[in-house]
């Protein structure tokens, strides 16, 4: 969906350079076709068990993107009342929302019960008590799944691993039976299933296989005790090709998950975020200066940690390439590339940690040139900030040869709009 024709980079049928000229930079550009195709590809891979795909709103919660996904038949996973509100505003189906998160407040629980979601993923005993109390007050029964921590090492970044003992998420798997009994004895709670999320991104299938096996064991145990546990939710975390060939195809994940779900005769819910929206979005930025100091070349451009914090926060790799160049897009960005030399791609923010790439091979660029940072659709805009009093970037959605502004650029007035001064 993002491709070069001759020397120019396109999103679907539109030139990124034209979009940058119209809306300015930094600019997030999304491909509608890529977004919908990835959702359909995940669903298709698991079609044998008719899965409920709950796109993880935290990856990118733009209303127009949620609406596109909802219209394609996608459901949603949320981790806050704010995300649930977004789903509602986008016209999503609240009855199929899964609500995770370790610190749901009473107000958020009340809101979700009023809206009527598919299930809360209960992450602790105190949360179980709180959901029961709020449901009791409201005179309703809350549908819940137990989020179990299966103690599986998904070998992902330390800051995004969630399924290892000692992480803050879920309840230890050994305590599952005890908490399930507590749910069963509670007239305000209904146990619909179990939930696990191992981390993100996970580029191998083994952790899912282990989790699915453990999930089936737990479901069996619970059924033996008389629980009606009909859902297995294995969370999100599927890999994304930040470089080509990193992530296994969805069918590989399905191969290790589907047979177990069938064996348990359960419904399957999944919460993918990154793999659906990640490569549907790029960040287009403009070079402000090229500076040579300390034996290095710094390409200072207007895309910063305020737009894409992942390199600063997780040392993540994002492919970066000029929007107009006659050097062909490489397969391996980390290898030596003819016509390229290593530069640091940095932003204007006053932190040495403000970079999009370090020692990265790039064709020569100069002041005014446009750069494209790939795989910026997931955990880009949602993690953006106003640090250094920078307004958030604009977002544009491309559909074939048409495009639409889906979030306007923030102004300086937006920056101070919530502040009170006497």
Stretch that binds ligand LLP, among 10-18, 37-45, 195-203, 384-392 (CB under 6 A): 195-203
Is 193 or 201 the residue whose CB approaches ligand LLP more closely?
Answer: 201
Give the alpha-carbon dihedral of 77, 383, 90, 68, to 10 degrees. Answer: -90
d(CA 379, CA 375): 9
Under the criterion CB under 6 A, does residue 51 sit at the interface with ligand LLP? no
- The answer to whether residue 54 is catalytic is no
Residue 271 binds ligand LLP, judged by CB under 6 A: yes
Using CA atoms, how far apart are residues 223 and 130, in angstroms rounded to an integer? 25
> Least separation, in Å, of the C-beta of 197 and ligand LLP?
4
Interaction pattern, residues 99-118, with ligand LLP; x per rule: CB under 6 A = -x------------------
Please report whether residue 200 would count as binding ligand LLP according to CB under 6 A. yes
Pick the closer one to ligand LLP by CB: 163 or 363: 163
Contact region for ligand LLP (CB under 6 A) — 21-29, 194-202, 279-287, 345-353? 194-202
CB of 290 to ligand LLP, least distance (A): 28
DSSP reduced 3-state for 327:
coil
Torsion from C-alpha of 366, 368, 373, 378, nearest 10 degrees: 160
Q: Under the criterion CB under 6 A, does residue 201 sit at the interface with ligand LLP?
A: yes
> Which candidate, 113, 67, 58, places its Cα nearest to that of 88?
67
Tokens representing 171 are: 């309840």
Whether residue 177 contacts residue 229, with contact meaning beta carbons closer than 8 Å, is answered with: no
75 binds ligand LLP (CB under 6 A): no
Return d(Cα 402, Cα 247) in angstroms, integer: 30
Q: Report residue 45: phi and psi, to 5°.
A: -60, -30
Min separation Cβ 332 and ligand LLP, Å: 22
The three-class DSSP label of residue 183 is helix
> Site for ligand LLP (CB under 6 A): which residue of 28, 231, 333, 379?
379
d(CA 70, CA 73): 5
Q: Which residues of 10-37 are buried (b: 16+ CB within 10 A; e: fewer)?
A: bbbebebbebbeebebbbbbbbbebbbb
What's the CA dihedral at 23, 25, 31, 34 to 10 degrees? 180
Site string for ligand LLP, 359-378 (x = CB under 6 A): -------------------x
Q: Which of 51, 163, 193, 272 binds ligand LLP (CB under 6 A)?
A: 272
Options 56-64, 216-224, 368-376, 394-402: segment touching ligand LLP (CB under 6 A): 56-64
| Smallest distance, ligand LLP to C-beta of residue 393, A | 17
DSSP 87-147: HHHTT--GGG-EE--TT--HHHHHHHHHHT-SEEEE-SHHHHHHHHHHHHHHT--EEEEEE
Smallest distance from ligand LLP to CB 73, Å:
18
Taking contact as CB under 6 A, which single stretch among the options 44-52, 102-110, 207-215, 234-242 is the one that binds ligand LLP? 234-242
Shorter beta-carbon distance to ligand LLP: residue 207 or 322: 207
Q: Which residues share a beta bridge with 24?
A: none
| Interaction mask 310-349, ligand LLP, x per CB under 6 A | x---x-----------------------------------
Single out the catalytic residue among 11, 98, 266, 350: 350
Pick the closer one to ligand LLP by CB: 14 or 87.
87
Q: How far is the CB of 113 from ligand LLP (least distance, A)?
A: 20
Total of residues contacting ligand LLP (CB under 6 A)? 23
User: How open is the CA angle 19-23-24, to the nearest 5 degrees?
Assistant: 100
Pick 38 or 369: Cβ nearer ligand LLP: 38
Cβ burial, residue 284 (10 Å; 0-12/13-18/19+): buried
Active-site positions? 350
Q: Catalog residues that contact ligand LLP under the rule CB under 6 A.
A: 56, 58-59, 77, 100, 160, 162, 197, 200-201, 235-238, 271-275, 310, 314, 378-379
């Amino acid at each position: 969906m993002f491709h070069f024709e001759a020397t120019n980079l396109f999103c679907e049928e539109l030139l990124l350079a034209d979009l940058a000229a119209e809306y300015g930079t930094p600019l997030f550009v999304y491909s509608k076709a890529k977004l919908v195709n990835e959702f359909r590809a995940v669903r298709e891979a698991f079609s044998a068990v008719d899965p409920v795909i709950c796109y993880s709103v935290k990856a990118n919660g733009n209303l127009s993107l949620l609406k596109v996904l909802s219209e394609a038949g996608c459901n949603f996973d949320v981790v806050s009342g704010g995300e649930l509100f977004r789903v509602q505003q986008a016209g999503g189906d609240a009855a199929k929302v899964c609500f995770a998160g370790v610190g749901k407040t009473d107000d958020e629980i009340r809101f979700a019960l009023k809206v009527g979601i598919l299930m809360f993923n209960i992450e602790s005993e105190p949360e179980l008590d709180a959901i029961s109390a709020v449901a009791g007050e409201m005179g309703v029964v809350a549908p819940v799944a137990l989020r179990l921590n299966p103690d599986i090492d998904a070998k992902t970044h330390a800051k995004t691993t969630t399924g290892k003992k000692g992480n803050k998420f879920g309840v230890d798997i050994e305590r599952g039976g005890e908490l399930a009994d507590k749910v069963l004895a509670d007239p305000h709670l209904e146990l619909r299933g179990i939930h696990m999320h191992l981390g993100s991104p996970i580029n191998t299938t083994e952790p899912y296989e282990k989790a699915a096996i453990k999930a089936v064991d737990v479901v069996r145990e619970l059924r033996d005790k008389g629980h009606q546990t009909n859902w297995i939710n294995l969370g999100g975390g599927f890999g994304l090709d930040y470089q080509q060939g990193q992530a296994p195809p969805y069918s590989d994940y399905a191969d290790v998950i589907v047979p177990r779900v069938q064996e348990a005769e359960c419904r399957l819910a999944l919460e993918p975020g990154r793999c659906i929206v990640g490569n549907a979005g790029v960040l287009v930025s403009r070079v402000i200066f090229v500076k040579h100091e300390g034996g290095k070349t710094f390409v200072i451009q207007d895309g910063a940690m305020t737009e894409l914090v992942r390199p600063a926060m997780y040392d993540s790799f994002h492919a970066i390439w000029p929007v107009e160049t006659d050097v062909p897009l490489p397969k391996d960005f980390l290898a030596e590339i003819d016509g390229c030399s290593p530069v640091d791609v940095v932003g204007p923010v006053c932190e040495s940690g403000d970079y999009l790439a370090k020692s990265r091979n790039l064709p020569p660029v100069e002041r005014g040139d446009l750069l494209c940072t790939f795989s910026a659709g997931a955990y880009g805009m949602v993690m953006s900030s106003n640090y250094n009093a920078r307004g958030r970037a604009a977002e544009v959605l491309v559909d074939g040869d048409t495009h639409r502004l889906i979030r306007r650029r923030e102004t300086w007035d937006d920056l101070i709009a919530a502040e009170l001064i006497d």
